[in-house]
Amino acid sequence: MAATKTPRKKATPRATPRRGLSILVLSGPNLQLLGVREPEIYGTETLADVHARLVARGAELGVQVTARQSNHEGELCDWIAAARTEHDGILLNAAAYTHTSLALFDAIKAVGLPCVEVHISNPEAREAYRHVSRIAPACIAKVSGFGTDSYLLALEGLVRWLERAGSGRQAPGARRKAR
């Protein structure tokens, strides 16, 4: 009797990140002090460590990650404006500017790129003045409360969002100039 083969189910293709995506990661005021500033809230990892982890994870995903930090609201706005032609999406930890900056809100809205709000701690579990985000209405999502892993989770989420947005139609950042 001949052996019969059991038909194998076709594997469901897994979404793989599209090569060539570029993500801008911006961190706001006082985040250059990560590792020494209130480690009981923000941990002991430095911002340089976070940036290195983001670049490494981006490489694994096939995504270019550019990470910057500034204490100056105008500089953050300038970087967001320039992202329109250079990047496909933005991760933004606006830090204290989260609760006060209409300028950052306007910049995010103006460029039309998907932006994920990122926080190391959970603002809603902290002081009442941290409960309101001025930038949230301009963002597609928010990741907070996972320590510095919030940045990595936000990166993975934004890449998946861009993949879905790009399947069958132009991705939000596709209008950028060729590099």
Is residue 178, in this structure, part of any structural domain at all? no
Is residue 176, in this structure, part of any structural domain at all? no
Given 87, 97, 119, 151, the catalytic residue: 119
Is residue 11, in this structure, part of any structural domain at all? no
- DSSP strand pairing (21-27 vs 63-69): parallel
Given 42, 87, 97, 151, the catalytic residue: 42
Is residue 177, in this structure, part of any structural domain at all? no
Is residue 89, in this structure, part of any structural domain at all? yes
Higher pLDDT, 14 or 113: 113
Six-digit token string for 70: 């500034």
Mutual orientation of helices 47-61 and 149-166 as an angle, nearest 10°? 30
pLDDT tens-digit readout, 35-90? 887 777 767 789 999 999 999 999 999 999 999 999 999 999 999 999 999 999 99
What's the structural domain count of the chain? 1
Q: What is the pLDDT of residue 125?
A: 53
Going by C-beta distance under 8 Å and a sequence separation of 6 or more, which residues neighbour residue 142?
A: 116, 117, 118, 119, 133, 136
> Residue 77 maps to which CATH number?
3.40.50.9100
Q: What is the pLDDT of residue 32?
A: 94
Is residue 25, in this structure, part of any structural domain at all? yes
99 counts as catalytic: no
Computed over every residue of the chain, the mean pLDDT equals: 83
> Euclidean distance between the first and final Cα of the chain, in Å?
62
Domain span at 150 = 21-165
Going by C-beta distance under 8 Å and a sequence separation of 6 or more, which residues neighbour residue 126?
A: none
42 counts as catalytic: yes
DSSP class of 12: P
Amino acid at 24: L
Contact call for residues 137 and 112 (beta carbons, < 8 A) = no
pLDDT tens-digit readout, 116-138? 999 998 766 566 666 678 899 99
| Cα within 13 Å of Cα(85), Cβ side | 6
Q: What is the pLDDT of residue 130?
A: 63
Is residue 172, in this structure, part of any structural domain at all? no
Is residue 9, in this structure, part of any structural domain at all? no
